[in-house]
Amino acid sequence: MKERRRRTQDSRRVTRLESTNARLKSSNKDLLSLSQRSILRLAAVVLDSNDAVIICDLKDRITAWNRGARKMYGFAEAEALGMSIRKIMPASKLLMARELVRVSAKQGRKAAPIEAQRRTKQGRVVDVLLTVTVLRDEDGRAVEVATTERDITALKEADRELRRLHARVILAQETERKRLARELHDGVGQILSGVKFRLQALPGQMKLGAVAEAKLVKVGGFLDHAIAEIRRVSQNLMPSELVDLGLEAALHALCREFKERSGVRVTIRTASTDASPEVGLALFRIAQEALNNIGKHSKAKKVVIELFEEGKDVLLSVSDDGIGFSRASGPLTGRGRGLGLGNMRQRAESAGGSLDFRSKPGAGTALTVRAPKAGPR
């Protein structure tokens, strides 16, 4: 009796196990089917994407080419497969698959998109933004490189046009500054000087009491102050040293004036440079605005300005030992205080250069401008 009951229980267990196994197999098939469907959907999305998706092996032969690539570069899939990726690269902008593998390995998981150029079947050069994915085998070795490529030609052209527009605005501003400086110096300044000389001549032309003479002296003092202020404004609008003697002399004059006005100790180290007038003016304006901000906000005791050449570039650095600030709350964020960091950067870019800016609360501020001596390329 016990033996029969045990056999019945074993039989039921076997049945349950078989049933569970059948359900697991069915579930696995469903999961596999679901996974296959997901892969197919993803493949369809990649195939129909407006962005070019290209896969090539480490010998630079194209192994996959989607419809976006066909639209962007003009090659049909049948033409592209097996073709060298070099065929869609300008001769001066070659970027090989193995190089992309090295770049991807160096950047790691936080790999940033890469700006590059491609050449279409018709010979037109387009700017693209590449997102690189390295495909590896079971042993982790790189075997292929997949790139997702977005056409940013229109964006780049819009950016170039914006820079050209900004350069024209700056040119117009500088032309107007020069005109105002000349009119202040030659017009208003000369008129005030004439008034001052006439006032000084009055005591010899008529009898004046002590009170009247004291008042004339006081008015003469006001005129002296007004004439000095007009000269200062005129000098700031267009420094005569910059026009007549060049950037190096203008920076020395700027530092002297800043030291006298603010009491801050300034160390300036310069080397003679043959930077173009356009670049010299941009660097001078950046230094001028940087010193203005230091005087207003930094509470610095010492400022260091350096001007030197490095190859075909000229570099300007301005640093202080002031209180520093964070980007979010600092005086150079362009929210109504001075030209702002954004405008200084635009000045640098209008000269074909770039501006690097660093500041931390309590650790001072430093900016470095690098620009080609010949100006925008």
CATH code assigned at 281 = 3.30.565.10
Average pLDDT (134-146) is 86
**Could you tell me what percent of the chain has a pLDDT over 90?**
18
Of 31-40, 46-55, 245-254, give the lowest mean pLDDT range. Answer: 31-40
Give me the torsion for CA of 254, 257, 262, 266, rounded to 10°: 50
Residue 132 CA to residue 134 CA, distance in Å, equals 7
Which residues, including other chains, have CB under 8 Å from residue 302's CB and lie 6 or more apart? 264, 265, 266, 267, 320, 321
- Whether the per-residue pLDDT at 35 is higher than 60: the answer is no
Q: Which amino acid is at 182?
A: R
Most confident listed range (36-40, 151-155, 203-207, 232-236): 151-155
Q: Which amino acid is at 157?
A: E
Asked if 33 and 146 sit in the same domain, the reply is no
Average pLDDT (319-343) is 62
8 A C-beta contact, residue 312 and residue 372: yes
DSSP type of residue 275: -
| Nearest CA among 252, 362, 352 for reference residue 307 | 252
Q: What is the pLDDT of residue 75?
A: 93
Average pLDDT (63-76) is 91
Average pLDDT (23-31) is 51
Most confident listed range (24-28, 110-114, 191-195): 191-195
Average pLDDT (223-239) is 79
Asked if 186 and 270 sit in the same domain, the reply is no
Q: What is the pLDDT of residue 303?
A: 92
SS3 for 118? Answer: strand
Residue 306 CA to residue 274 CA, distance in Å, equals 16
| Nearest CA among 282, 259, 300 for reference residue 339 | 282
**To the nearest whole number, what is the mean pLDDT of the chain?**
79
Does 147 fall in a domain? yes
Average pLDDT (260-275) is 87
Classify burial at 290, counting beta carbons within 10 Å of its beta carbon; exposed 0-12, middle 13-18, buried 19 or more: buried
Asked if 257 and 275 sit in the same domain, the reply is yes
Q: What is the pLDDT of residue 335?
A: 39
Residue 7 CA to residue 2 CA, distance in Å, equals 9
The residues that bridge with 128 in the sheet, in sequence order, are 116, 151
Greatest C-alpha distance within the chain: 151
Of 118-132, 141-155, 225-239, give the lowest mean pLDDT range. Answer: 225-239
Residue 191 CA to residue 121 CA, distance in Å, equals 69
Q: What is the pLDDT of residue 12?
A: 58
Asked if 168 and 143 sit in the same domain, the reply is no
Structural domain that includes position 182: 164-238
Average pLDDT (102-109) is 60
Asked if 91 and 122 sit in the same domain, the reply is yes
Kindly provide the residue ranges of all beta strands, DSSP E only, lying in the chain, ordered along the sequence: 52-57, 62-65, 114-119, 125-136, 142-151, 265-270, 302-310, 313-320, 354-359, 365-372
Average pLDDT (193-198) is 79
Asked if 54 and 44 sit in the same domain, the reply is no
DSSP type of residue 350: H
Q: Which amino acid is at 340?
A: G
Better-predicted residue by pLDDT, 8 or 219: 219
Cβ atoms within 10 Å, residue 366 = 17
SS3 for 330? Answer: coil
SS3 for 136? Answer: strand
Average pLDDT (268-279) is 86
Domain boundary among the residues 238, 272, 288 is at: 238
Residue 96 CA to residue 89 CA, distance in Å, equals 10
Q: What is the pLDDT of residue 319?
A: 92
Asked if 278 and 368 sit in the same domain, the reply is yes
pTM for this entry: 0.58
Structural tokens at position 161: 């046009």
Average pLDDT (279-289) is 90
Strand order in the sheet with 302-310: 265-270, 302-310, 313-320, 365-372, 354-359
Domain boundary among the residues 220, 238, 256 is at: 238
8 A C-beta contact, residue 241 and residue 207: no
Report how many domains make up the chain.
4
Of 116-125, 164-173, 348-357, 366-375, give the lowest mean pLDDT range. Answer: 164-173
- Whether the per-residue pLDDT at 368 is higher than 90: the answer is yes
Most confident listed range (23-32, 91-100, 207-216): 207-216
CATH code of the domain containing 54: 3.30.450.20
Does 158 fall in a domain? no
Q: What is the pLDDT of residue 245?
A: 81
Residue 227 CA to residue 196 CA, distance in Å, equals 9
Q: With bands split at pLDDT 50, 70 and 90, how would you rate the model's confidence at 305? A: very high
Average pLDDT (98-120) is 72
